[in-house]
Structure 1
Amino acid sequence: MGMTAAEKIFAAHAGLAAVSAGEIVVAKPDRMMLHDITGELAFAIFRSMGATEVCDPDKVVLVGDHYSPPPHPEAAALLAKMERFARDMEVQHVFTTGQGIEHTLLPERGLLKPGNLVIGTDSHTCTAGAFSALGTGMGSSDVAAAMALGEMWFMVPETIRATYVGRRPAWITGKDLILALLARITVDGATYKCVEFDGEAIASLNMDERMALCNMTVEGGAKTCFVAPDDTLRAWAVGKHGEGALDHLVESDANAIYSQHQVIDVSELEPQCAVPFSPDNVVPVGELRGTRVNQVYIGNCSNGTMTDLRQAASVLRGRKVAPGVRCIVVPATQRIAAQAAREGIMETLLEAGAIVGPSTCGACAGLHMGVMSNDEVAVATTNRNYRGRMGAFSSRIHLANAWVAAASAVAGEIVHPGEVVTGEAMAA
């Protein structure tokens, strides 16, 4: 039988002609990524193994993003330990001074190519699937061993094929497409599987929106994910890396075996919203009309892109954030922030009354710069809405796209963005 794209990538990195789901392989990752919280433990384990140097310093990427800028001395110490490890091991790809959030930063800085196998000490490493690569989160001990040995064992995952048919309506983004899938398969429906995306609606997504799509596959339990290569992906790859980046493109064979096939018609899809306290507790945004909000958060590792900032600005332009609402906007990288400034987006956000923060994970993980108090309600473009995720245990997070988030900031309650932008009378 043929192979899926995931099977082909694992085979290539294991030096094998073919593999199939369920096999254990020893593969050589192209990138090994650690961030400031998980890095400290990985460094200690690395040294406890007796390792004195990393196998290939060029493959290691260290990113200080969860506690950047550091909110307390302990966080500053974590960043310092990361910088010390980088010096000792001659690691060159070091981003500890606020350059951006890891999953957005890697492709931006040319550290991710189609066909790559990436491991990272963060569950949302699956975001790499947007670039026709495979990314998977692993424990600090796993990545420590991979840094020392240059390889790691993997069980080749089964693949779920997710085909999105129909033309996307207005206001529908990659965020809505992944929420629609999670509503169908639930938070454990893709456990240790690869989710492979294709279809007309997927092809219509730009690269930013594909990141939002792939980022949340782990919320369905997925080990990794993959967007089938198309003209949009090829244009990005050539523009970022040159024609040679196409040498390792892979596609699933026509006779590949999938564990299941989900087909979703998006032609009449409304903007989606995940209601507390689970990412698969999804309803159309219209069902939440009138839900008052205390905070709106636009940002995170896949929804702080230029696309998200442009969407938010299109709603906020000429309008004001409602009294009593904190509207926090976090560009995912410094380069995105700079581009937003050049386009006048920063001025639009600030004039509307939004708070623009540095490129950090921050409040998304309940760490700093926007944590919530008891019983507060938020609309966020982040990826998790479990109890206590962004602060107080009793706070409530609603996950939605940037248009919905910005519209809710203006209205002071959850609304469909069309109600704010078109000026239509709000339904009772």
Structure 2
Amino acid sequence: MREVAATGAAGKSLRAPDAQTLAEKLIARAAGRTRVDAGEIVTCRVDLAMFHDSSGPRRLKPLLEDLGASIWNRDRVVLVMDHYVPERDDDARRIVRIARDWARDQALPHVYDSIGICHVVLPQRGHLRPGLFCVGGDSHSTTGGAFGSYMFGIGSTEMLGVLVTGEIWLRVPRTIRMHWDGRLQPGVHAKDMMLHMIGRFGMNGGRYQAVEYGGSAVRALDMQDRMTLTNMSAELGAQTGLIEADEVTHEWLARTGAAAPEQGLWCSDDEACDERHEFNADELGPQVAAPHSPSNVADVDRFGDVGIHVAYIGACTGAKLEDLAAAARVLRGRTIAAGVQLVVAPASVQDQAEAEARGWMAALRDAGAQVLSTGCGACAGYGGSIPDGATVISSTARNFRGRMGGEAVDVYLASPATVAASALRGRIADPREVLA
């Protein structure tokens, strides 16, 4: 695919002298400043801190007790049980029990237990909106940037500091602009855009900077496809991924009841970036990442001779409502190949219920899909892991060795549409051939 790249010479910025990026505006607001500049170290007030059963209470509870400290603002804390639910063994039951008991003892007002994956539940419950500065106890917390929030993942020690003080420091990042013109073809999705960028720049391509996504192709995406872009900013190596708020954002906020700021308030100034890359979505085809790295990417037709045992549609990256719809469009009225196991784990109870109402879950089941409970499941290597020695095509974000099962499992990453087409063919396949 043709790509035009523009970068500042000798590390110099491309921007106009007074221009500010979206990332800088959000950080300046959190730091109580009128502006900030890349490279500065600032202390920011946190609007929201999110963690889940794996990253949260079992690690934070003893640390808080050792300090004799309390939570700075319970109303700004969100706990989601999604990694170890449903509990499949004694260890999972212990971890989830710690989380539930601690949430009760702390009287946390925002606890979501077994209703979906944190990065999907958070916006569905109205916790994200443009202008916020948020942290999460999970690397895919970058998902929040789809809503114009500055959100990034932190470790338990940093989260402890946030819980006690309500603040965190950071170095103001440079901003890399990924500009997509054109429009995606049917059967090509945001996951394909993201895999192409990771394949082009590598897993350190974001260099722990802020990555902003824009252009006509990005504006044409619905909110859940935008979430896929910002979610996998983690695989691109960015600190955060951001998309400017627009009509699509405001329509979503209206449906969830989240308060929305004045339209157009949180956006990058014209010519405000330190590095810019341009892509043409018209020319993009389905992408696949081969084992064992999300950066090991090529066009789908390079993998046509790879037979599969398992097709997995799941995770915050690949089992949201629109992901389920994309798979259902490919599978409706068809049956998966003999010897292939198609597994679907919806990203949230809400998405699953809406997919049921629209007939998409029925289309998946009729094609031969096995539907699992919502949650992180096999993506994180917890419940429902893949049989040893299997070749898997998955809508998840990572395919590191041992991530979804044993060391002998080979995982290929693709969009839900490509996963569905591959389940039909029994080998990695182009969804455009089925849709045609």
Report the TM-score when normalising by structure 1: 0.94
Q: How far apart, CA to CA, are the structure 1 residues paired with 2:244 and 2:201? A: 20
Correspondence list, 1:244-259, <5 A: 244-246=260-262, 249-256=265-272, 258-259=273-274
**Alignment of 1:368 onto 2:383:** yes
**Structure 1 residue aligned with 2:191, among 157, 175, 184?**
175
Q: How far apart, CA to CA, are the structure 2 residues paired with 1:354 and 1:31? A: 37
How big is the shift at 1:413? 0.5
Listed one character per residue, the Cα deviations across residues 230-250 of structure 1 (whole Å, up to 9, x for unaligned) are 221222223333664437941
Give the gaps of 5 or more residues in structure 1.
423-428
**Structure 1 residue aligned with 2:77, among 57, 60, 74?**
60
Number of positions where the alignment pairs a residue of Structure 1 with one of Structure 2: 418
Moved over 6 A (4+): none
Is the contact made by 2:129 and 2:260 (CA closer than 8 Å) also made in structure 1? no
- CA separation of 1:262/1:372 partners in 2, compared to 1, >3 Å: closer, same or farther? farther
Residue 333 of structure 2 corresponds to 318
Q: How far apart, CA to CA, are the structure 2 residues paired with 1:407 and 1:318? A: 13
Residue 165 of structure 1 corresponds to 181
- CA separation of 1:168/1:255 partners in 2, compared to 1, >3 Å: closer, same or farther? closer
Is the contact made by 1:164 and 1:263 (CA closer than 8 Å) also made in structure 2? yes
- CA separation of 1:68/1:249 partners in 2, compared to 1, >3 Å: closer, same or farther? farther
Is the contact made by 1:127 and 1:302 (CA closer than 8 Å) also made in structure 2? no
Residue 3 of structure 2 corresponds to none
How big is the shift at 1:284? 0.7
Residue 19 of structure 2 corresponds to 2
Letter in 2 for 1:23: E
Correspondence list, 1:191-206, <5 A: 191-206=207-222
**Alignment of 1:389 onto 2:367:** no
Residue 300 of structure 1 corresponds to 315
Q: How far apart, CA to CA, are the structure 1 residues paired with 2:344 and 2:86? A: 16
**Alignment of 1:73 onto 2:87:** no
- CA separation of 1:54/1:159 partners in 2, compared to 1, >3 Å: closer, same or farther? same
**Structure 2 residue aligned with 1:412, among 426, 429, 435?**
426
Is the contact made by 2:246 and 2:264 (CA closer than 8 Å) also made in structure 1? no
Q: How far apart, CA to CA, are the structure 1 residues paired with 2:53 and 2:264? A: 31
Residue 402 of structure 1 corresponds to 416
Give the gaps of 5 or more residues in structure 2.
1-17
Residue 51 of structure 2 corresponds to 34
Residue 425 of structure 1 corresponds to none
Residue 426 of structure 1 corresponds to none
How big is the shift at 1:320? 1.2
Is the contact made by 1:121 and 1:139 (CA closer than 8 Å) also made in structure 2? yes
Query: Is 235-244 or 141-150 further displaced after alignment?
Result: 235-244
**Structure 1 residue aligned with 2:103, among 66, 77, 86?**
86
Q: How far apart, CA to CA, are the structure 1 residues paired with 2:325 and 2:340? A: 20
Listed one character per residue, the Cα deviations across residues 316-354 of structure 1 (whole Å, up to 9, x for unaligned) are 111112121111111111111111221222222222110
Correspondence list, 1:3-402, <5 A: 3-39=20-56, 40-51=58-69, 53-96=70-113, 98-241=114-257, 244-246=260-262, 249-256=265-272, 258-374=273-389, 376-402=390-416
Q: How far apart, CA to CA, are the structure 2 residues paired with 1:276 and 1:123? A: 21
Letter in 2 for 1:316: L
Is the contact made by 2:391 and 2:410 (CA closer than 8 Å) also made in structure 1? yes
How big is the shift at 1:182? 1.0
Listed one character per residue, the Cα deviations across residues 281-334 of structure 1 (whole Å, up to 9, x for unaligned) are 111101111210011111111321111111111111111121211111111111
How big is the shift at 1:106? 0.3
Is the contact made by 2:133 and 2:151 (CA closer than 8 Å) also made in structure 1? yes
Q: How far apart, CA to CA, are the structure 2 residues paired with 1:79 and 1:88? A: 14
Q: How far apart, CA to CA, are the structure 1 residues paired with 2:435 and 2:270? A: 44
RMSD: 1.5
Q: How far apart, CA to CA, are the structure 2 residues paired with 1:157 and 1:21? A: 5
Sequence identity of aligned pairs in percent?
38
Q: How far apart, CA to CA, are the structure 1 residues paired with 2:334 and 2:257? A: 40
Is the contact made by 1:234 and 1:246 (CA closer than 8 Å) also made in structure 2? no
Q: How far apart, CA to CA, are the structure 2 residues paired with 1:13 and 1:105? A: 24
- CA separation of 1:112/1:242 partners in 2, compared to 1, >3 Å: closer, same or farther? closer
Q: How far apart, CA to CA, are the structure 2 residues paired with 1:420 and 1:102? A: 33
Letter in 1 for 2:60: A
Query: Is 341-350 or 377-386 further displaced after alignment?
Result: 341-350
Q: How far apart, CA to CA, are the structure 2 residues paired with 1:108 and 1:348? A: 24
State the secondary structure of the residue aligned to 1:301. helix
